[in-house]
Amino acid sequence: MSGAPSVSAWRGPIRLVGKRIGLALITLLLVSAVVFTISGLLPGDAAQEVLGQGATPEQVAALRHEMGLDRPAAVRYFEWLAAIAAGDPGNSIVANKPVADIISERLPNTLTLAGLTTVFAVPFAFLVGIWSAVTRGRATDRSLNIMTLAMVALPEFLVATIAVMVFSVKLLWLPSITIVPQDPTLGEFLRAYALPVMVLGVGVIAQLSRMIRAAIIAELDRPYVEMARLKGVSQARLIVRHVLPNAVGPIANAMALSLSYLFGGAIIVETIFSYPGLASLMVNAVTSRDMPLLQACAMIFCAAYLLLVLIADTVAILANPRLRQG
Amino acid sequence: MANLIRRATRLPLPGKIGLALVLFWIVIAVIGPWIAPYPPGSFVNEEVFAGSSRAYWLGSDFLGRDVLSRLVSGARFTVGLSAIAVTIAASIGTGLALTAAVGPRWLDELLSRAMDTLISIPSKIFALVLVAAFGSSMALLTLIIAITYIPGNFRIARSLAVGLAKLDYVEVARARGEGRLHLAVVEILPNILKPLFADIGLRFVFIVLLLSGLSFLGLGLQPPDADLGSLVRENTSGLAEGALAIIAPAAAIASLTVGVNLLIDAATQGKAE
Amino acid sequence: MLSRRLLLGSLAAGVALAPAERLIGKPRRGGRIRVAGIVASTSDTLDPARAGNSSDFMRMFLLYSGLMQYDRGLAVKPGLAESVESTDNVVWTIRLRRGVQFHNGKSLDASDVVHSLLRHRDPAVGSKVKAVAEQFASARRVNAHEVELRLTGPNPDLPIILAQPQFVIVENGRREFSKANGTGPFMLKAFAPGIRTIVQRNPNYWKPGQPYLDEIEVIAIPDELSRVNALLSGDVQMCIAVSPGSVKRVRASSSHLVMETKSGLYTDLVMRQDNPVTGHPDFILAMKHLMDRNLIKRALFRGFATVANDQPISPLDPNFNAEIPQRSFDPHMAKFLLKRSGLLGTRLPVYVSPAATQSVDMGSILQEHAAQIGLNLAINRVPSDGYWSTHWMKHPLTFGNINQRPTTDMMFSLFFKSGATENEAGWNSPRFDKLLIEARQSRDPVLRKAIYGEMQWMIHRTGGLGIPVFISLLDGYDRRIRGLEPIPFGGLMGYTFGENVWLEA
């Protein structure tokens, strides 16, 4: 609608995006404080969890001192904050090795699973969402609608379990747990990930495609669409050139939400497929009261989410001429 | 009332099916305790995972309890708890979103920051930590779930509302000197309701599913209370033998979630057709 | 054709679900298997002192060897020690096997043993068995192959203590355990805490010909259903802790078997005796009568359990007192007792957790039966983590979960001696304590059994523990795996399967 933007037209968006980044960092700081506070409420501590069922109070006290858990919370918080700002998340008090090492083992796993699921699910969701929107109310829309509904109708753990029972136990096609061999061939790699990606993808597709459909339909009801139609603009061109750019704000937002689910929300899939990702690492950190590890994981989830939202916001700003000027 | 009935009869077929399913589950949730043939916790059958019989319509569960009785009691928890949680989440989320859209810039930023902080912590892990810290009671569970879904609703509603707030007609109203409340409630809210309802419908479904996910992680209701998801979870060992004890609650969840969505889809599109 | 006696023998053992298969074949060298445990976390360790869960125990017995080793029943046999002897049960002489090498080639020396035993006393080590190791007054290297271990008091059970996974032998001076250098049947190939442990055959293992397998990978699948699925889909060849409800499924598969190991493991209702309500004798007795042991055995354990009688010594233990009449499920009696003591209508919270095996369902059963006679029990299910430190024994009613201990003395001293840290119910009986010492000092097995029998009576009558059943351990495995035998200390041969099993072609 507007012509090629001049340099000055970009100044606004850049300033806006810069501001978003700043705000994201503030949020990150808030999260660290929230996580630290909540984790302080957890009953028991690492010393007790390490020593287990039969520990004497003296043993616990000795280990607690050795782990530095007997110092004030505020001191520990600011020490940690300073360290993490310098890029060092500290040592895991349970595993007795750098948190960075532990996370670097797991982060690639989470990224791989999230990446594969995105590659599988997002195009699918767009296809279903757009198709459904343009055939609104007709048989295609209804069957697609029922399909996406069925996809989220059952709890994830049940879908995963049924998938395992069918594809692994009965048919013996796919592995029931996700263990990627060292130096896998492409086939082995895809086979290992097939089931978890499918289970995670189902949820993402269902949620995202419905949001895309809703956003596009909202646009289709606008007067300009009717006008364009009257001018004889073809359906495909209408969707790609006019509707999508205008609907991009809500769609980008929905995508940010759906994709951030692939980090922390993968906990059930990680549990069922015994997949060593970050979500189970964080649950593990909660159960073993390994605060440095817990906080580091929380920061990663938070950062990932904020990054996705930042991208969504940026896209929305760039796409919406009014926001761009604001 | 008559108006509602007229509206209902004008719904397309899927909408009617959805409405029927939703009404069915609401009725079950309300009258459940009176139609259950046995107390949900009592061990009435010697056989575990028994099939359907005259005395036990849906057979027995992994401990020999009556599945039908547990199902109607589970439906009550699932429907009730999810409805309360989604209502809390949507009212607070949308309310804050409208406040953010029409309020001063700093308030918008503050709310957005607070919501981002909340939402960036993964919901199941957030719940895990809170349950580990405070224990799990029904009120707390509802609250945790509601809190979990406030930011999501807020983001969607805010994104829609902010988009509208920049539109000409709202700015015209603003120029007319309309108050912020008027802008939010009269100019913006009616125009974001449709996509919001779609979102709330999905969110209800997700709450039902989150509840069962929490049961999977052992964070659900306290026994002997069990929501539909816990019923599925506690009977998973019967999955391989195709026990009714797992199929029945799974089908219940599916019909509830599908029903809600069909209804909301039909209701939000009704006028366009 | 199998001889009748052989077949009867293994049936009498009552443990093998498919005895015929297990008797066939000679050990075969080679092959690789993957084994699924139940726990993996970042606290997974290669340090014997910190070994605290079943996966750690597996790792210990794969990589290291103990002075003594678990054997069938509740017995032990010599391991790195040729003999562990004493005349007074205070000063012990440990003679070491010759020609044993660590994985790095160093020869086993008495100084390694001294270090391995005494390091548990150091608080900085954080040993799980510090309390046990405190009875090691001193250890002295007599020569390269002999150690003199002096205890703080007599203890006839030292050989059994030395078979525990934490007391395996590490090399002298070793303090850092990111790698493992032991004398065990396998050498460490890869170790990622919380993810996997891969070990490969130690060609210089001190048992000639053993181990049989080339490589073992240990992973953990905490979710039971996933674990069994992984077994049935062939992703793992062996797994620990099959739930009773899954046995039918595993047995239905043509290529998998289940091994039942009878054990003394129990999950018990703990009634604190220092609380006015739960310590009331009538309340305690009423709760014991409210335990529907047959329902628990049938529904929760599908028969893979032995009905117990509110005392901790299982029929596996030679000191088991079979003369105590079985306490029955009797709600009327329970109601009468509660009414008499005026406790009917009380509302009490019961803490249950997945951490204590099946306690959630046991709690539900108890609650249901209690409700029927007018006693209001509120079930409080709490997560596994933090359960032992913050809930167990800390409230009037909780559930505990106690593993088989090797000796009667250990069961009693750990869980019933007045003042013991894990005295679950706060049981306090001077006479019991006196009998415990009498039994320890007695050298006459018949007299000792009589004393232990009396002590079982005492707990059965007035102890604040409801012990409904002894739980069998169930392991699932691929039919091609041979050599598994039940050892009641834990699943998969008391975690010592590594050096004993082989893979049939």
| Gap between the Cα atoms of B161 and B157, Å rounded | 6
Residue corresponding to tokens 């033998």: B241
For the segment B64-110, what is each residue's pLDDT rounded down to a tens digit?
A: 889 999 999 999 999 999 999 999 999 999 999 988 888 888 888 88
> Residue A260 and residue B261: Cα distance in Å, rounded?
23
Mean pLDDT of A164-171: 87
Please tell me what DSSP assigns to residue C149: E
Q: Which residues pair with C239 in a beta bridge?
A: C36, C476
Tell me how long chain A is.
326
Neighbours of B (≥3 Cβ pairs closer than 8 A)?
A: A, C
The mean pLDDT of B29-38, rounded to a whole number, is 86
What separation in angstroms does the CA of A297 have from each of A87, A102, A179, A303, B144?
14, 10, 22, 10, 21
Q: Most distant CA pair in chain C: distance in Å?
A: 71
Higher-confidence position of C112 and A223: C112
pLDDT tens digits for range B208-236 = 888 888 888 777 887 778 888 889 888 88
Query: If interface means Cβ-Cβ distance under 8 Å, which residues of chain B face chain C?
Result: 41-43, 46, 48, 62-64, 128, 131-132, 135-136, 218-219, 222-224, 236-241
Q: Which residue did the predictor score with more confidence, A309 or C433?
A: C433
DSSP state, A167?
A: I
- The more confidently predicted of residues C103 and B34 is C103
At B269, the pLDDT band (50, 70, 90 cuts) reads low
Position C207: which residue type? K
Q: Is A100 helix (H, G, I), strand (E, B) or coil?
A: helix
C223 touches chain A (CB under 8 A): yes
C453 in Cβ contact with C318 (< 8 Å): no
Domains of chain A: 100-324 (1.10.3720.10)
Phi, psi of C492 (to 5 degrees): 45, 60
Q: Which helix (H) or strand (E) holds C322?
A: none
DSSP state of C106: P
Res C16: pLDDT? 41
- Spatial distance between the Cα atoms of C494 and C355, rounded to a whole number of angstroms: 20
CB contact A166 to B (< 8 Å)? no
Mean pLDDT taken over chain A? 82
What is the per-residue pLDDT across B157-194, written as a single tens digit (0 to 9) for each? 888 888 777 777 777 877 787 777 777 777 788 888 87
Residue A323 has pLDDT above 70, yes or no: no
pLDDT of residue A50: 67
DSSP symbols for B107-150: HHHHHHHHHHHHHTS-HHHHHHHHHHHH---HHHHHHHHHHHHH
**Does B64 sit within 8 Å of C371, measured CB to CB?**
no
Q: Are the Cβ atoms of B124 and A320 closer than 8 angstroms?
A: no
Residues recorded for chain C: 505
Residues 6+ apart with CB under 8 A from A304: A260, A263
Nearest residue, CB atoms, C299 vs list B48, B128, B241: B48
Cα separations (Å) of B169 from A320, B102, B193, C421? 17, 14, 17, 74
Q: Is C235 touching A (CB cutoff 8 A)?
A: yes
Q: Do B262 and A149 touch (CB under 8 A)?
A: yes
pLDDT tens series, chain C, 505 aa: 333 333 333 333 434 444 444 455 688 898 999 999 988 777 789 999 988 888 999 999 999 999 999 988 788 999 999 999 998 889 999 999 999 999 999 999 999 999 999 999 988 888 888 878 888 999 999 999 999 999 998 888 899 889 999 999 999 988 889 889 999 999 999 998 888 899 999 999 999 888 999 999 999 888 888 899 999 999 999 999 898 888 988 988 889 999 999 999 999 999 999 888 899 999 999 999 999 999 999 888 989 999 999 999 999 988 999 999 999 999 999 999 999 988 887 788 999 988 888 898 899 899 989 998 989 998 888 777 668 777 888 899 999 998 888 888 888 988 998 887 789 999 999 999 999 988 888 778 899 899 999 999 999 999 999 999 999 999 999 999 999 999 998 899 999 999 999 998 7
Give the pLDDT confidence of A243-256 residue by residue, as tens digits: 887 888 888 888 88
- What's the CA gap between C227 and C37, in Å, rounded? 8
Task: Count CA atoms closer than 13 A to A78's CA, side-chain side.
Answer: 4
A contact residues 167-196, partner C, Cβ 8 Å cutoff: 168-169, 172, 175-177, 179
To the nearest whole Å, the CA of B230 is away from the closest chain C CA by: 13
Phi (first) and psi of residue B42, to 5 degrees: -90, 150
Tell me the range of A36-45, A255-264, A278-287, C430-439 where mean pLDDT is highest.
C430-439
**Residue C5: predicted pLDDT:** 35
Element (H, E) at C56: helix C54-63
β-pairing, C215-220 vs C376-381, is unpaired
Region A227-249 average pLDDT: 82
Chain A contact present for C39, CB below 8 A: no
Rounded CA Rg of chain C: 23
* Whole-number pLDDT of residue C7: 36
Name the B residues in 78-107 with CB < 8 Å from any A CB: none
Half-sphere exposure of B60 (CA within 13 A, CB side): 17
Q: Tell me, what's the pLDDT at C10? A: 36
**pLDDT value at residue C9:** 35
Amino acid A219: pLDDT:
84
Distance (Å, whole) CA C364 – CA C234: 35
- A 10 A CB-CB count for C61 gives 29
